[in-house]
Structure 1
Amino acid sequence: MKITKAIVALTLLSAFSYGASAAELINSEQAQNLQAVGTITVSGVAGTPMDIRQQLNQKANDQGASAYRVIEANINNTYHATAEIYK
């Protein structure tokens, strides 16, 4: 249940722009037409869903990805999120 809430929170935050970020947060339907090229993860002791999304976005950009899809997220006392990246 917490994973679902975290993924929903991250998806809702996709409406926010983080400057000149190139990677786009997408859903599973949008990902069907793209080729996955790997995964990225972020984790830490404290962070809001917006912080987590920003970190995922930065890692996706650093890898040259055009898009990423959150495939796992857990927010408790610590957070951890995994995303599949696409070019």
Structure 2
Amino acid sequence: MKTKSVLPLMAALSALSFGAFAADSISLQQARDLQPMGTISVSGIDAAPSDIHQALNQAADAKGARAYHVTEAYENGNWHATAQLYK
């Protein structure tokens, strides 16, 4: 019985700790102190600008980045954004 209640708790805590280590959106000035590690793009997002940042956060996390700086973002029916990744 204890095992069944511990597993959901562990899953919830790991989800919370994952969010604590998410990549941060940074300014160009903040990026000067960090090492670049590539770029990411997200597109086809038909939602609010906050959803673009969430998509960029997820893409940056998947690449193991500590931070990202948005280099372009535009809406042409759907949103598109490109960001530089940093270690």
Query: TM (normalized to structure 2)?
Result: 0.74
Q: Which has the higher helix share?
A: 2
Where in structure 2 are the equivalents of 1:1-87 lying within 5 Å? 19-87=19-87
Give the CA deviation at 1:76: 3.2
Give the CA deviation at 1:75: 1.7
Contact 1:45–1:77 (CA<8 Å) still a contact in 2?
A: no
Measure the CA separation in 2 of the matches of 1:37 and 1:62: 13
Is the partner of 1:56 in helix, strand or coil? helix
1:3 is matched with none
Rg larger for: 2
In the alignment of these two chains, the number of paired residues is 69
Structure with the larger RCO, 1 or 2 (CA within 8 Å, 6+ apart): 1
C-alpha RMSD over aligned residues: 1.2
The one-letter code matched in structure 2 to 1:74 is Y
Give the CA deviation at 1:21: 4.6
Measure the CA separation in 2 of the matches of 1:44 and 1:21: 26
Contact 1:73–1:80 (CA<8 Å) still a contact in 2?
A: yes
Gaps of 5+ in 2: 1-18
User: What is the aligned-residue identity percentage?
Assistant: 54
Query: TM (normalized to structure 1)?
Result: 0.74
Give the CA deviation at 1:43: 0.4
